[in-house]
Amino acid sequence: MTSPIHQGLALHQAGKLREAEQVYRDILSRNPNDSDALHLLGVIATQSHQLAPALRLIESAIRIRPDVAFYHNNLGNIYRMTG
């Protein structure tokens, strides 16, 4: 059985951003500290050019799991995009 985060990621990678977003939000409704769901929602926000929410979401993921390098990488990408 595939985990919800993997289901969301599969939808995300298929370009089904709304469906993936809903999966990530469902995960967060059960566990508000799921760093992967927060991070991936931030990635979707970045892809949708909603940089302020993306920044907040990815920063939240980093507060929970500061050891995950690609969270920091994506945060840096947002900083680069915002100048």
pLDDT over threshold 80, residue 5: yes
pTM for the whole structure: 0.95
pLDDT over threshold 80, residue 1: no
pLDDT in tens, 23-73: 999 999 999 999 999 999 999 999 999 999 999 999 999 999 999 999 999
Could you state, in order of their start, the residue ranges of all structural domains in the chain? 4-82
pLDDT over threshold 90, residue 83: no
- What CATH number was assigned to the domain covering residues 4-82? 1.25.40.10
* Top-confidence residue, 2 or 50: 50
Mean pLDDT of 15-20: 98
Measure the CA dihedral 15/72/65/44, to 10°: -20
